[in-house]
Amino acid sequence: MRTREEIHFPLGRSNTPPADLVALTLGRPRDVPLVPVARIVTRRATWQLVDEAGSALAELTDDHVEAANLRASTMDNWRELELADETDAALLDRAERQLRKAGLRPATYGSKLARVLRPAPEDEPGRTAGDQLVIYLSGQVDALVRNDLLARRETPDAVHRMRVAARRLRGVLQAYRTLLDRERFHLRLAARARACPRRRRRGTVRRRLGPTEPPCRPFSSPRWVR
């Protein structure tokens, strides 16, 4: 079964994102303002799974979802069941087997938003070598941006994982230099990777002293293909 971490902020009445949330996402948008991309409405029922003695074992949520992709002007609706993260692993496995027997299948996407923003069928990546190269590069950029957020939250090993993603990107840009416009980004990635070790060595001290500046400068997704 899939797991994920969610970051929650009070809903409030403002039409602008909370400042703390904007700060956490600086690794992706840089100076580009955040704008609405989807509207998701969830009707949720919650069930307690109990044993023969009536003791609670797990919480099961049953969501009926209606969603709109505001960029593509498309609508979708579906139903999903989810067990709480703190559920015992053995119980999760048993519950998954029972749900599969009942005809349910694991979610294709890790979140409701990811499903809403999925590419249209005609825009889905193909099977050419160039397609696979772009898929790999996109995955490493996503890893770099994702760990940028985790590093800002002082998550252990996040800076190390950023360095790994940066090295992989540099290696691919070098190996496929005849296909990609790499020179613009290669030096930036190298400088970023060199900056991370210095920050990493100070990571333990920073955690003891309290929050300071982000471990690395924010990163924006490049465009690789000419």
Domain ranges, ordered by start, for the chain: 38-116, 129-209
pLDDT tens digits, 182-226: 556 555 666 665 656 555 545 544 555 555 555 454 444 444 444
State residue 80 phi and psi, 5-degree precision.
Answer: -140, 145
Mean pLDDT of 25-38: 78
Lowest model confidence (mean pLDDT) among 103-107, 109-113, 188-192: 188-192
One DSSP character per residue, 162-201 reads HHHHHHHHHHHHHHTTTTB--HHHHHHHHHHHHHHHHHHH
2 — pLDDT class (breaks 50, 70, 90): low
Collect all residues with Cβ–Cβ distance below 8 Å to 75 and sequence separation of at least 6: 66, 67, 68, 69
pLDDT tens digits, 40-90: 999 999 988 888 888 888 888 999 999 999 988 888 999 998 887 666 788
At 191 the pLDDT is 60
At 192 the pLDDT is 60
Nearest to 61 by CA among 79, 77, 76: 79
Instruction: Identify the residue with better confidence: 138 or 210.
Output: 138
> Rounded to whole angstroms, how far apart are CA atoms 159 and 152?
9
At 39 the pLDDT is 92
Residue 40's H or E segment, with its range, is strand 38-50
Contact predicate 133/176, CB 8 Å:
yes
At 120 the pLDDT is 66
Dihedral over alpha carbons 115, 116, 118, 120 (to 10 degrees): 130
Lowest model confidence (mean pLDDT) among 7-21, 22-36, 103-117, 189-203: 189-203
Contact predicate 218/224, CB 8 Å:
no
Instruction: Identify the residue with better confidence: 61 or 131.
Output: 61
Dihedral over alpha carbons 204, 205, 209, 213 (to 10 degrees): -80
At 224 the pLDDT is 47
CA distances from 173 to 8, 60, 128, 182, 183 (A): 37, 45, 18, 5, 8
> Rounded to whole angstroms, how far apart are CA atoms 48 and 73?
37
Instruction: Identify the residue with better confidence: 138 or 222.
Output: 138
At 62 the pLDDT is 92
Tell me: pLDDT of 124 over 90. no
Collect all residues with Cβ–Cβ distance below 8 Å to 195 and sequence separation of at least 6: 216, 217
Q: Of the ranges 9-13, 62-66, 116-120, which is most confident? A: 62-66
